[in-house]
Amino acid sequence: MSRFSLSQDLGIDLGTANTLVFLRGKGVVMREPSVVAKNKRTGDIEAVGSSARNMIGRTPGNIEVIRPMKDGVIADYDTTAVMMKYYLKKAMRKRSFFAGKPKVVICVPSGITMVEERAVIDATKQAGAKDAYPIAEPFAAAIGVGLPVWEPTGSMIVDIGGGTTEVAVISLGGIVTSRSIRTAGDNMDEAIVQYIRKEYNLLIGERSAESIKQDIGSASVLDEERTTEIRGRDLLSGLPKTIEITSNEITKALQDAVQNIVNAVKETLEKTPPELAADIMDRGIVLTGGGSMLHHIDQVIGDETKIPVLKTEHPLDSVAIGTGKSLENIEHFQKNPNV
């Protein structure tokens, strides 16, 4: 029985943009946006996940759409706890009826305080976990992409998420040096909104900006320039309007955000002990997280650091996979709760 229930333990990636659940023995069983829609009058939760996300920028006055961890910290703890419980319960239904309470390895944004982390662990237990073990995000990401984290060799991981970019150098099962900045995917979306407002007097929503970024966004100029249409509200006439925008313009809009990420990588390299820096030169820097899907971000980081840069195959899943793989090493996390 205990061996059977062991295979039903869970890993959770509580990300600023997406929450994923990994079920041991099955893999990633749930991917949902970290979004909650709340009724402002009654306080009732109207929707969680994708259905709440579809409401962004489209709500009537009484409904509020919240991204409780938007900036990498828990801006709204109660809502985070409600969301986490909702997802955990949903994932638990995918487990065997006979499985006991699961152990849960949970990855939370690195900006959160000890008190907030404690609170997330309590919420996890309230949702039915036997025990919950926190894991540092870059460490989970590194495990997830298959870096040799336990070996005496330096690995560098750069996880570009929604709210934060985490850069870390890992060796011998621990984080040697790391940096977390609040420049990532959300910031890029905001930069696109600002750019279009300034250049075209056109107001567009966050969601539209995000799809432009995903569609034609690039960290440096594309060999073949691309264009797309955007709809928004003309600030002069107040009426809806459609314009065409080029990938080169989006590259310009994203320049500062990309530079901040490059700088975070460089600053982390400067703090890296020489032996480990040499390992990273050999093995390369590994990029993951949804933001790493931006075209040419690998090239720009490679050009500026003169180190090879590799993208991962499943950038949105690597942290969840890492929490899942680390279920096998749970004793390590019990002994070193803060890796």
Q: At what angle do helices 206-216 and 185-200 cross, to 10 degrees?
A: 100
Looking at the Cβ atoms of 230 and 276, the one nearer to ligand ADP is 230
| Cβ neighbours around 244 below 10 Å, total | 9
Cα(152)–Cα(155) distance, rounded to whole angstroms? 10
Find the angle CA(304)-CA(219)-CA(155) to the nearest 5 degrees.
50
Closest to 290 in 3D by CA, of 187, 208, 172, 203:
187
Looking at the Cβ atoms of 35 and 276, the one nearer to ligand ADP is 35
Contacted by 322, from Mg ion, ligand ADP, none: CB < 5 to 8 Å by type: none
Asked if residue 138 lies in contact with residue 159, where contact means CB atoms within 8 angstroms, the answer is yes
Contacted by 232, from Mg ion, ligand ADP, none: CB < 5 to 8 Å by type: none
Asked if residue 83 lies in contact with residue 48, where contact means CB atoms within 8 angstroms, the answer is yes
Contacted by 217, from ligand ADP, Mg ion, none: CB < 5 to 8 Å by type: ligand ADP
Closest to 185 in 3D by CA, of 254, 90, 274:
254
Q: Which residue has the tokens 């900045």?
A: 181
Cα(315)–Cα(70) distance, rounded to whole angstroms? 19
Nearest distance from C-beta of residue 23 to ligand ADP, angstroms = 19
Nearest distance from C-beta of residue 137 to Mg ion, angstroms = 6
Contact residues for ligand ADP (CB under 6 A)?
Answer: 15-18, 161-163, 185-186, 210, 213-214, 217, 289-291, 293-294, 316
Contacted by 162, from Mg ion, ligand ADP, none: CB < 5 to 8 Å by type: ligand ADP
Looking at the Cβ atoms of 163 and 232, the one nearer to ligand ADP is 163
- Name the token pair of 312: 């991962």
Nearest distance from C-beta of residue 292 to ligand ADP, angstroms = 8
Per CB under 5 A, the list member of 15, 68, 154, 315 interacting with Mg ion is 15
Closest to 217 in 3D by CA, of 184, 242, 185, 254:
254
Per CB under 5 A, the list member of 161, 232, 322, 324 interacting with Mg ion is 161
Count residues near Mg ion (CB under 5 A).
3
Per-residue contact track with Mg ion, 107 to 126, x per CB under 5 A? --------------------
Nearest distance from C-beta of residue 277 to ligand ADP, angstroms = 26
| Cβ neighbours around 170 below 10 Å, total | 28
What residues make contact with Mg ion under the rule CB under 5 A? 15, 161, 319
